């Protein structure tokens, strides 16, 4: 792989990993575009009252009454908050009722029976760790006037698979049938009791799945972005039973109900969509006259300086097709592919981008290393006047980067690197001047640090540190020629007039060869 393409691969990998890290934050941000109900920005809810009692911190269920409101908290460790609270129209607590037995575990929603006599409480939340998922869920029921404590009804899902459910509504007529709607961000599941409801039972009554609810996509801004627009957090039925509403963190979806069949309405009809503005809304109700939606936020998700308000909204009156909701006008092709993603889809995309980044970085690094190895293997060994390549550095032909200063002594060049007084750091020094020895320039020249030493001269020039230095003393390492003392290590050739009894003057470690 060429070095350029390998470097590009590394760069792309880094960008991919950065995108993998950054995408999660982008998806959690509020959507900046126009909102539900045909692309128009939602009308802010009208403030009815402000909740200030410290016992009402994480409101998750709400019912509007002629005298005020009934509310419950989400899961809590405080016994003072594990109660059903009755409020007046100014949001002040007027009464509270404790649960029977050991109380609830994770209450999420309130619902009223079609005949208006019974209040149902959904203890169906499952926000616990994976090691402590609920094996069963509980519904509580009590008189709507609070004259008796809530009693327990235990249920189990048909496949014993834990689920998180935050919406409860009563289907049918008369006392009605509880309908549980799960919180799933793809298709919410609908469950009803599969057998007669029991009270105080230790073994759960099996639930029966009766359908799936897929909400149309909108673009309503909310704190959770696209997933918040399809995550079901509450439901309610109008006092006259003719309509049902299901809410998310962003919108209220309302259907007409025929013959009390809520399941048929939400799975087969097209809803009217009303954009909501409560920042972390998990509860919804109809006003006593059925003309308004009433909502409240979970205060546990709000900032310390934010107040909890009960708000009202005027329901939308026209059905808006999904393409108009998401696109904001005729001719639109509907919601973008990003708005169609579920939370699980987004998580998988983030992970995939990060993995792709790692693969690209690894491939790029491997390509660069392979290219360098190939270049190194292709290089001929440096010798004589050859230009040596060190890493990515290529010495210029004249080796100007390691010569003596330009003002230094000069001699007649005879080829090779280092044409001036000093040799090169890497490479061969100048070749000898043509003619019989010892014809030399009058100025001394040094050999190279590595390679062939400089031209022999009179006056005692030195050879190369490593290599064949033809100077008088020879080189430190290598075969020096033309000096009386030879080299420290190597195979010197002595001068013609320096014969000893054996015929030659050797080096410190001579190899005793003859010319």
* Domains of the chain, residue spans: 1-34+335-378, 35-327, 384-515
What pTM, to 2 d.p., does this model score? Answer: 0.59
212 forms beta bridges with: 189
Classify domain 35-327 by CATH number. 2.120.10
What's the length of the chain? 515
Element (H, E) at 110: strand 109-112
Q: How far apart are CA 339 and CA 346, in angstroms?
A: 10
Peptide bond into 438 cis (omega under 30): yes
Q: How far apart are CA 282 and CA 295, in angstroms?
A: 8
Cβ–Cβ under 8 Å, residues 412 and 425: no
Structure-token match 């792309």, residue found: 12
Element (H, E) at 62: strand 59-64
Q: How far apart are CA 350 and CA 343, in angstroms?
A: 11
In order along its 515 residues, the chain shows pLDDT tens digits of 554 555 555 455 544 555 554 444 433 333 333 344 444 578 999 999 999 999 998 999 999 999 999 999 998 889 999 999 999 999 999 999 999 988 999 999 999 999 999 999 999 998 755 556 788 999 999 999 999 999 999 999 998 888 999 999 999 999 999 999 999 878 999 999 999 999 999 999 999 999 999 999 899 999 889 999 999 999 999 999 999 999 999 999 999 999 999 999 999 989 999 999 998 899 999 999 999 999 998 877 667 778 999 999 999 998 866 544 443 333 333 444 454 454 555 656 676 676 677 787 677 777 777 776 766 666 555 444 444 444 433 333 433 444 444 444 443 444 444 444 444 444 444 444 455 554 444 444 444 445 544 444 444 444 444 544 444 444 444 444 444 444 444 444 444 444 444 444 444 444 443 33
3-state secondary structure 270-306: CCEEEECCCCCEEEEEECCCCCCEEEEECHHHCCCCC
22-32 as b/e: b if 16+ CB within 10 A: ebeeebeeebe
Q: How far apart are CA 142 and CA 147, in angstroms?
A: 8
| Residue 304 CB-density burial (10 A; 0-12 exposed, 13-18 middle, 19+ buried) | exposed
107-131 as b/e: b if 16+ CB within 10 A: bbbbbbbbeeebbbbbbbbbeeeee
Q: Which two tokens stand for residue 221?
A: 């801004």
């Amino acid at each position: 792989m060429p070095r350029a393409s390998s470097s590009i691969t590394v760069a792309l990998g880094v960008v991919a990993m950065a995108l993998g890290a950054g995408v999660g934050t982008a998806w959690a941000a509020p959507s900046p575009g126009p909102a539900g109900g045909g692309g128009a920005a939602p009308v802010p809810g009208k403030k009815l009252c402000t909740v200030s009692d410290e016992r009402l911190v994480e409101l998750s269920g709400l019912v509007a009454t002629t005298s005020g409101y009934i509310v419950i908290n989400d899961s809590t460790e405080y016994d003072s908050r594990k109660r059903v609270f009755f409020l007046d129209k100014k949001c002040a607590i007027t009464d509270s009722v404790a649960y029977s037995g050991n109380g609830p575990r994770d209450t999420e929603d309130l619902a009223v029976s079609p005949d208006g006599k019974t209040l149902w409480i959904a203890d169906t939340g499952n926000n616990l760790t994976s090691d402590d998922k609920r094996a069963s869920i509980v519904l509580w029921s009590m008189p709507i006037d609070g004259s008796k404590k809530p009693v327990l009804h235990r249920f189990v899902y048909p496949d014993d698979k834990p689920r998180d459910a935050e919406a409860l509504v009563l289907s049918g007529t008369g006392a009605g049938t509880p309908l549980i709607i799960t919180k799933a961000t793809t298709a919410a599941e609908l469950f009803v009791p599969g057998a007669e409801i029991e009270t105080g039972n230790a073994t759960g009554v099996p639930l029966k799945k009766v359908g799936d609810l897929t909400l149309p996509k909108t673009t309503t801004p909310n704190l959770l972005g696209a997933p918040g627009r399809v995550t079901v957090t509450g439901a309610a039925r109008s006092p006259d039973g003719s309509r049902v509403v299901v809410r998310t963190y962003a919108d209220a979806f309302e259907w007409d109900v025929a013959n009390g069949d809520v399941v048929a309405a939400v799975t087969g009809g097209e809803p009217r969509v009303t954009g909501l503005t409560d920042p972390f809304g998990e509860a919804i109700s109809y006003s006593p006259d059925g003309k308004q939606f009433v909502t409240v936020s979970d205060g546990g998700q709000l900032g310390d300086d934010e107040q909890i308000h009960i708000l009202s909204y005027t329901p939308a009156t026209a059905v808006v097709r999904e393409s108009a909701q998401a696109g904001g006008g005729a001719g639109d092709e509907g919601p973008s592919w990003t708005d169609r993603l579920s939370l699980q889809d987004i998580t998988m995309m983030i992970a995939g981008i990060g993995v792709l980044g790692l693969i690209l970085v690894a491939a790029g690094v491997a390509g660069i290393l392979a290219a360098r190895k190939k270049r190194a293997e292709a290089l001929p060994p440096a010798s004589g006047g050859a230009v040596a390549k060190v890493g990515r550095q290529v010495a210029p032909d004249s080796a100007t980067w390691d010569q003596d200063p330009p003002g230094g002594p000069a001699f007649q060049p005879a080829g090779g690197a280092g044409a001036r007084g000093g040799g090169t750091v890497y490479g061969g020094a100048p070749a000898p001047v043509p003619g019989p020895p010892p014809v030399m320039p009058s100025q001394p020249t040094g050999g190279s640090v590595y390679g062939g030493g400089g031209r022999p001269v009179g006056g005692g020039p030195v050879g190369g540190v490593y290599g064949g230095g033809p100077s008088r003393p020879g080189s430190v390492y290598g075969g020096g020629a033309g000096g009386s003392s030879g080299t420290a290590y190597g195979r010197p050739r002595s001068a013609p007039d320096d014969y000893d009894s054996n015929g030659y003057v050797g080096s410190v470690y001579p190899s005793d060869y003859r010319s």
